[in-house]
């Protein structure tokens, strides 16, 4: 990594927005280069100073009371209560008449909440979480580090042969331009020490990374949806390959993309 690359990434580095590999590269350069090292210290000083010194403006009690009244006038008792429960006695009293109903439901609600919280963790194999993090980190890095593609081409017959010789498995590449997801290229990436093919698609301003690598487990795995830090991911395994589609696209559009890919196979 050189100085100009470091300068471009150093803010993301001090904000902990780079993945481990990117962070290690910046860290290595910063340790060797006095100029970039000084820049890093200056940024961290500014950050610490901002966090300690910027004024957190607090709404006045009069304003919070006005806001509460305004929400009350809009007929949002629950919201009003959550603004300042102690100052809304009439509403509390009115709700109390129905309190027994909610009390009776409470154990069910607690059980449901537990399922919602614990459910995904119970269903997922233990290593899945770190794969999710690794895949999403690879997606974020491809956007931040401006390293979206190693081979930039919308031609599947250019992208597919490019991977041959770099990977010891074959990846099928399809351009979905007609369906609204044009192929923009391919990239070699790493997920958990495994070389993975990253096929890059665009949808309007958004990027979809489709990661493909050989599965170590036997058998297909059903489609799963996961999300981290605002990114959505779908993963599945089919015919000995893992597939991960990651994007900040909205739910419906990413799902449509995933259906295209799955239908092809």
Residues that bind other proteins (CB under 8 A): 11-12, 15, 17, 42-43, 46-47, 49-51, 53-60, 63-64, 66-67, 70-71, 74, 76, 78-79, 82-84, 140, 143-144, 146, 205, 229-231, 248
Number of helical H runs and strand E runs in the chain? 10, 7
- Our CB check for other proteins shows the closer of 127 and 205 to be 205
- Our CB check for other proteins shows the closer of 126 and 230 to be 230
- Our CB check for other proteins shows the closer of 125 and 230 to be 230
CA atoms within 13 A on the CB side of 225: 11
Phi/psi-derived region of residue 201, left when phi > 0, alpha when psi is between -120 and 50, beta in every other case: beta
* Min dist. Cβ of residue 47 to other proteins (A): 6
* Min dist. Cβ of residue 64 to other proteins (A): 8
* Min dist. Cβ of residue 116 to other proteins (A): 11
Closest CA to 148 of 204, 205, 198: 198
- Our CB check for other proteins shows the closer of 146 and 172 to be 146
| Tokens encoding 207 | 């990027």
Quote the CA–CA distance of 67 and 7 in Å, as a whole number: 45
- Our CB check for other proteins shows the closer of 85 and 265 to be 85
The answer to whether the beta carbons of residues 191 and 138 sit under 8 Å apart is yes
For residue 161, the tally of other CB atoms under 10 A from its CB is 11
**Measured torsion, CA atoms of residues 219, 225, 227, 233, in degrees rounded to the nearest 10:** 70
Helix or strand or coil: residue 215? Answer: coil
- Our CB check for other proteins shows the closer of 2 and 16 to be 16
* Pure H helices in 20-149: 20-32, 34-53, 61-73, 77-83, 89-96, 99-123, 128-144
* Min dist. Cβ of residue 157 to other proteins (A): 30
The answer to whether the beta carbons of residues 198 and 223 sit under 8 Å apart is no
- Our CB check for other proteins shows the closer of 44 and 166 to be 44
């Amino acid at each position: 990594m050189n100085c100009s690359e470091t300068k471009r990434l150093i803010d993301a580095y001090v904000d902990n927005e780079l993945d481990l590999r990117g962070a290690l590269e910046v860290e290595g350069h910063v340790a060797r280069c006095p100029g970039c090292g000084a820049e890093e210290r200056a940024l961290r000083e500014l950050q610490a100073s901002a966090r300690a010194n910027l004024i957190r403006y607090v709404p006045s009690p009069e304003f919070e009371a006005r806001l509460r009244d305004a929400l009350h006038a809009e007929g949002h008792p629950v919201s009003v209560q959550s603004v300042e429960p102690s100052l809304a006695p009439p509403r509390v009293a009115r709700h109390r008449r129905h309190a027994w109903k909610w009390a009776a439901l409470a154990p069910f609600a607690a059980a449901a909440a537990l399922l919602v919280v614990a459910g995904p963790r119970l269903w997922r194999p233990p290593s899945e979480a770190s794969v999710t993090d690794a895949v999403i980190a690879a997606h974020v890095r491809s956007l931040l580090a401006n390293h979206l593609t190693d081979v930039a081409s919308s031609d599947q017959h250019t992208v597919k042969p490019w991977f041959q010789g770099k990977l010891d498995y074959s990846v099928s590449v399809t351009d979905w331009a007609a369906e609204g997801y044009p192929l923009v290229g391919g990239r070699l990436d790493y997920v958990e020490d495994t070389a993975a093919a990253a096929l890059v698609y665009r949808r309007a301003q958004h990027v979809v990374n489709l990661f493909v690598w050989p599965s170590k487990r036997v058998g297909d795995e059903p489609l799963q949806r996961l999300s981290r830090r605002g990114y959505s991911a779908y993963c599945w395994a089919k015919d000995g390959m893992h597939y991960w589609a990651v994007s900040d696209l909205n739910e419906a559009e990413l799902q449509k993309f995933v259906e295209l890919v799955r239908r092809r196979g």
